[in-house]
Amino acid sequence: MDFSIPAHLEPMLDRIRHFVDTELIPLEPRFLNEEFRHLLPILADKRRQVQAMGLWAPWLPAEYGGMGLPLAEYAHVSEVLGRTPLGHYVFNCQAPDVGNMEVLMMYGSPEQQAHWLDPLARGEIRSCFCMTEPENPGSNPVLMDATAVKDGDDYVINGHKWFSTAADGAAMAIVMAITNPEADSRHKRASQILVPTDTPGYRLVRNISVMGEAGSDHASHAEVVFENCRVPQSNLLGPEGAGFQIAQERLGPGRIHHCMRWIGIAERALDLLCAYAVRRRLSSSAMLSDQQAVQFWIAESRAEIDAARLLVLHAAWRIDRVGASAARVEISTIKFVVANMLQQVLDRAIQVHGALGMTDDTPLSYWYRHERAARIYDGPDEVHKWVVARSVLAKYRQ
């Protein structure tokens, strides 16, 4: 196994890194202090620049207008884009659109792909994914109250969802709801169904305030209600009752995307920490970087980021070769290891910045607020540790 950056990838990463540094990072003060929708005209221009450079949607197959990078190579790109909160959106590889496009590629009918996948791939529309319910634990997607009942040629959907990321302004939602309540296996009760957001009965209740800010458009998490929401049965994604299976296939590669983005955030946080430490004077002769505690934080952060990166690249390598199902333990391992590494590095960076670290003059406090959820969404730490521990113990129980 060779996890060094492939030679053919280096020039591309340099171009992306330069674009992030010169075109996107200068926009961060506005992103941090204005509503996201105010930046949309500027970001639309940046997206056109990315398309013109041939760097659009690095993970997406070439037939859909992307670069077609394998997962292990896209992981490096995701890290570079993660250095700014704007990176993934501008390159059209933001959640939840990236996961929804993957599902449409695997399970969408030709008609569904033409109607939804193609405009998503071109960046003309956005989408959301409605699975989590406030009344049920998000860590257990087989516990679900939302239903989709057949009536003639339609499904009639009723349910209550929340933390539907980017539902504000989305043209379409992929909804997970119970279609087969009597199925022998609880893993075969739910299906995934495409719901245009202009369908009567679909209602966006609110953008949920997260750590004091509700956000807007792509940078938001919504509460959504389905009240006798009627869509054609032809909107079913894949086989009926395959909702849980599709969700698991969607989440495996998605965790690689998240983890490498978190590593990009950690790298930027460490960069900000070091740059501030060498210029912040404590006295006439001492700099912040001279303090042993700060030096230890730098060393620990450097080691933890590098170790996390190798774990993620190994998991991506495994997924590329054996599939997400066979790499389940590796995927669970990176989910809690990288999420916790990110919290540690961000905390150290804020501590070094002092009061400045609490402000929105740097992206540190934004990431500290929003990425605390890294230890919760896509399965909380405890669930993933349980998966890993069960795998380890199984060998001894045999």
Cis status, amide bond into 96, omega within 30 of 0: yes
Domain ranges, residue 92: 10-100
Q: What pLDDT is stored for residue 338 in this prediction?
A: 97
DSSP tag of 179:
S
Q: Are residues 163 and 202 in the same domain?
A: yes
Structure token pair of residue 73? 């190579």
Q: Are residues 225 and 304 in the same domain?
A: no
The residues pairing with 129 across neighbouring beta strands, listed in sequence order, are: 174
Phi, psi of 275, deg, nearest 5: -65, -40
Q: Are residues 297 and 357 in the same domain?
A: yes
Q: Are residues 152 and 78 in the same domain?
A: no
Q: Assess contact for 28 and 84: CB atoms under 8 A.
A: yes
What 3-state DSSP class applies to 161? Answer: strand
Sign of CA dihedral 34, 357, 258, 382: negative
Q: What pLDDT is stored for residue 85 in this prediction?
A: 95
Q: Are residues 71 and 93 in the same domain?
A: yes
Structure token pair of residue 274? 């070091």
Q: Are residues 69 and 191 in the same domain?
A: no
Q: Are residues 219 and 96 in the same domain?
A: no
Verdict on whether the full-model pTM lies above 0.85? yes
Q: CA 28 to CA 46: how far, in whole Å? A: 14
In one-letter notation, the amino acid at residue 246 is: I
Phi, psi of 234, deg, nearest 5: -70, -10
Q: What pLDDT is stored for residue 378 in this prediction?
A: 84
Q: Are residues 265 and 370 in the same domain?
A: yes
Phi, psi of 293, deg, nearest 5: -60, -45
Q: How far apart are the first and last CA of the chain?
A: 29
Other CB atoms within a 10 A radius of the CB of residue 61 amount to: 14
Q: CA 87 to CA 77: how far, in whole Å? A: 10
Helix axes 10-19, 71-81, angle to 10 degrees: 30
What 3-state DSSP class applies to 72? Answer: helix
The residues pairing with 127 across neighbouring beta strands, listed in sequence order, are: 172
Q: CA 121 to CA 108: how far, in whole Å? A: 14
- Domain tally for the chain? 3
Q: Is residue 320 domain-resident? A: yes
Query: pLDDT digit of tens for each residue in the chain (398 aa)?
Result: 777 888 999 999 999 999 999 999 999 999 999 888 899 999 999 999 999 999 999 999 999 999 999 888 999 999 999 999 999 999 999 999 999 999 999 999 999 999 999 999 999 999 999 999 999 987 788 899 999 999 999 999 999 999 999 999 999 999 999 999 999 999 999 999 999 999 999 999 999 999 888 888 888 999 999 999 999 999 999 999 999 999 888 777 778 889 999 999 999 999 999 999 999 988 778 899 999 999 999 999 999 999 999 999 999 889 888 888 889 999 999 999 999 999 999 999 999 999 999 999 999 999 999 999 999 988 899 999 999 999 999 999 98
Q: Are residues 133 and 258 in the same domain?
A: no
DSSP tag of 116:
I
What is the enclosing helix (H) or strand (E) of 367?
helix 364-370
Query: 90: Cβ–Cβ under 8 A, 6 or more apart, which residues?
Result: 24, 43, 46, 47, 50
Q: Is residue 2 domain-resident? A: no
